[in-house]
Structure 1
Amino acid sequence: MRKRMRDTPNRDRPRERLAARGPEVLTDAELLALLLGRGTKGRDVWQVVGDVERCLKRTEGCPSYDELLGIDGVGSAKACEIMACFELGRRYFGDDGVSGHRIASPVDVLPFVAEWRDRKQEYFICITLNGAGEKIARRIVTVGILNQSLVHPREVFSEAITDRAASVILIHNHPSGTLEPSAQDLAITRQLVEAGSILGIRVLDHIIVTKSGYASLKELGHL
């Protein structure tokens, strides 16, 4: 049976071992003990760690907030810290087969809309993104002439809400071949930015694409 943390010599405690030798030498239990910090009244930290470990094995990954909160000794703050650590690890070290494609610039968007760049009708497309700026989904919102009555915030953001998206990128093609944003393009963008702000979903960019190139309304200073 493992000693209680307060009965463990300082040199053998997880924090001191990590400082002296690095995180690689720590067991999963010791890493969790560092995250939890301490136990609760009547429960040593190692007892809480054991419950968290069993929960991790049962869920084969990061448990939900409610699952962590159901563990005696894990409060809201600790549940959030554990989930935040998992998410940071996934964002920085997750392999491409699991994590989404991160979109950091308009150029990153182009592969997802290549098939619409030379269409003879205007397609309005919405890409939803998570908090890491990774693509969740790509959807066609409207096909045809672009105007404010057809591109309604309801149509743009209903799926984004379902995706639990943190932000969206809007794209539409110009069959005319011109990359100059029209007054209508700018009006639609303003309307959707305002709607997104109310919903807590940022409009990161609105990109116009043609066969020959693209124009980012953000880069042009319209967002």
Structure 2
Amino acid sequence: MKKIKELPEFSRPREKLKEKGEHALSDIELIAVILGSGNKGQDVLSLASKVARLLVKHKGSISFDMLMNVGGIGLAKASQILASFELARRYIVKESIRISEPREVVPLLTDIADKQQEYFVCISLNGANEVIEKRIVTVGLLNKTQVHPREVFADVITDRAASVILSHNHPSGELRPSNSDLKIHHQLTEAGKILGITVLDHIIISKKGYYSFQEQGII
């Protein structure tokens, strides 16, 4: 992992938060913002990485003593982290949906699986792969849907999303992508790269199941 001084200014956590919003930051970057700085011999991103590993290990349930056992975390930084987490808990209004593998997206797409028209859906996610919003972008007749990057990414940019998962249904039941599907996927992936928004997956769904571009190595 690069030290924070080695990163271009626009990629540093605080500057990135200012320009792209908090949703665009990874877990480590968010923790780095909370910590504010590292200490002698330890960069803030290295310190944040240790805390992130602790969070994963204990599934987000950490105590003051646990933090104090992390090398480089003292009273002040442990207090900053716990106070930030507690404030967030008090104001959370709904449970977040976090996507870690393709099959976890499928329940969000059951409403279009048996449609007789082709629906193209875009799911925007934050830096922690939590769902921000799911939107129907276009509705077409069978396989005639035409999708333009402008329509896909307009609201995603407003969401300040870090990534997206694309999906559409095949009314025919066929799960394999057509040449048109592959062309549209490539076009949207390239547009995402220009915008700094990663296309994590593209899922085709039907009554017969689903097809994940990520699982098939197309991403």
TM-score range, shorter chain: 0.5 to 0.7
Specify the alignment match of 1:173 in structure 2. 169
Cα displacement string for residues 74-103 of structure 1 (whole angstroms, at most 9, x for unaligned residues)? xxxxxxxx68x947x96xx89985441001
Which residue matches 2:64?
Answer: 23
Question: Considering only CA atoms, is the larger Rg found in Structure 1 or Structure 2?
Answer: 1
Hey, what's the Cα distance between the residues in 2 that align with 1:25 and 1:207?
A: 40
Aligned to 2:47: none
- Give yes or no for contact 1:121–1:175 (8 Å, CA) kept in 2: yes
Contact 1:99 1:134 (C-alpha < 8 Å) held by counterparts: no
Q: Does 1:102 align with 2:144?
A: no
Q: Secondary structure at the match of 1:116?
A: coil
Asked if structure 1 preserves the Cα contact closer than 8 Å seen for 2:97 and 2:130, the reply is yes
Residues 120-164 of structure 1: per-residue CA shift (max 9 Å, x gap):
10000000000000001000000004568x311010001101111
Aligned residue pairs: how many?
Answer: 151
Judge conservation of contact 1:147–1:184 (CA < 8 Å) in 2: no
Between the two structures, name the one with larger relative contact order (CA 8 Å, sep ≥ 6). Answer: 2
Aligned residue in 2 for 1:208: 204
Secondary structure of the structure 2 residue equivalent to 1:186: helix
Q: TM-score, normalised by structure 2?
A: 0.60
State the TM-score, normalizing by the size of structure 1.
0.59
Query: Please, what is the CA RMSD of the aligned residues?
Result: 3.5
Structure 1 residue 212: deviation in Å? 1.4
In structure 2, stretches of 5+ residues that fail to align are 1-62, 68-72
Given the alignment, which residue of 138, 148, 152 partners 1:152?
A: 148
Distance of 1:170 and 1:130 partners within structure 2: 15
Partners of 1:161 and 1:204 lie apart in 2 by 16
- Secondary structure of 1:184's aligned partner: helix
Ranges in structure 1 where 5+ consecutive residues have no aligned partner:
1-21, 37-48, 50-81
- Other-structure match for 1:129: 125
Assess if the C-alpha contact under 8 Å between 2:164 and 2:200 holds in 1.
yes
